Structure 1
Amino acid sequence: MHVSVIGNPDDTVVVTVRGNLDLDTAPVLRTTLHQVLDRPLPRIVIDLSGVEFCDSTGLSAFVIGHRRAAAVGGWLRLAAPGGWLDGLLRTVGLVPALAVYPSVAEALADEPDASGL
Structure 2
Amino acid sequence: MQATVTDHRSDVAVLRLTGELDADTAPTLRAKLTELLERPVPRIVVDLTDLKFCDSIGLSAFIVSKEVITARGGWMSFAGANPFLVRLMETVGLSRYFAIFPEVEDAIAAGQL
TM-score by length of structure 1 reads 0.91
The gaps in structure 2 that reach 5 residues or longer are none
5-14 or 32-41: bigger deviation = 5-14
Of all paired residues, the percent bearing the same amino acid is 42
How many residue pairs align between the two structures? 113
Q: Do residues 24 (structure 1) and 24 (structure 2) align?
A: yes
8 Å contact from structure 1 (residues 63, 98) kept in 2: no
Give matches, 1:38-53, under 5 Å.
38-53=38-53
CA distance in 2, matches of 1:108, 1:22: 26
Q: Which amino acid in structure 1 is aligned with residue 45 of structure 2?
A: V
2-11 or 54-63: bigger deviation = 2-11
Report the equivalent of 2:5.
5
Give matches, 1:78-97, under 5 Å.
78-97=78-97
Q: Which amino acid in structure 2 is aligned with residue 15 of structure 1?
A: L
CA RMSD in angstroms, aligned pairs only: 1.2
The gaps in structure 1 that reach 5 residues or longer are none
TM-score by length of structure 2 reads 0.94
CA distance in 2, matches of 1:6, 1:77: 15
49-58 or 91-100: bigger deviation = 91-100
